[in-house]
């Protein structure tokens, strides 16, 4: 017979395992892979418009890249203590780069996603 404490610890372990196994599937790159990998690049263009750059690859195919830039405003930082002066994060430029590697027939082979921040 399993005691209540043992049962609770097993349930906690099971829940922790389930949550941690789901986290990698929530990334932007994995969502892009689920939506577009193996499909025609036309589906990507329907959702995102024309790519920013198109580069031809040796051996055929292309790398089609989307670049978007956004200025992020200062955000207040709470130190958890009383303070007289405002404490904010600096303004930064966020650059999102999404590259699609497309074969000669127009099918998406691979997707790379990155976020870059600069002051």
Is residue 87 helix, strand or coil?
Answer: coil
Name the residue range of residue 95's domain.
4-118
**Cα→Cα distances 55→61, 79, 92, 103, Å:** 9, 47, 28, 12
Interval 14-28: pLDDT, tens: 555 554 444 444 588
* pTM, 2 dp: 0.66
Please state, in angstroms and rounded to a whole number, the distance separating the CA atoms of residues 111 and 25. Answer: 15
For the chain, the domain total comes to 1
For the cut 60, the answer to whether the pLDDT of residue 41 exceeds it is yes
Here the contacts of 42-50 (C-beta below 8 Å, separation 24 or greater) are: 42/106, 44/100, 44/108, 48/98
> What is the model's pLDDT at position 118?
86
The answer on pLDDT for 57 being more than 70 is: yes
């Amino acid at each position: 017979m399993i005691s209540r404490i043992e049962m609770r610890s097993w349930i906690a372990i099971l829940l922790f395992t389930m949550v941690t196994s789901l986290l990698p599937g929530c990334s932007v790159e994995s969502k892009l892979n689920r939506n577009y990998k193996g499909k025609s690049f036309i589906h990507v263009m329907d959702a995102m418009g024309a790519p920013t750059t198109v580069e031809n690859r040796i051996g055929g195919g292309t790398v089609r890249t989307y670049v978007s830039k956004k200025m992020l405003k200062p955000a207040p930082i709470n130190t958890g203590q009383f303070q007289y002066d405002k404490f904010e994060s600096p303004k930064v430029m966020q650059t999102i780069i999404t590259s699609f590697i497309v074969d000669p027939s127009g099918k998406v082979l691979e997707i790379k996603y990155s976020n870059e921040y600069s002051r």
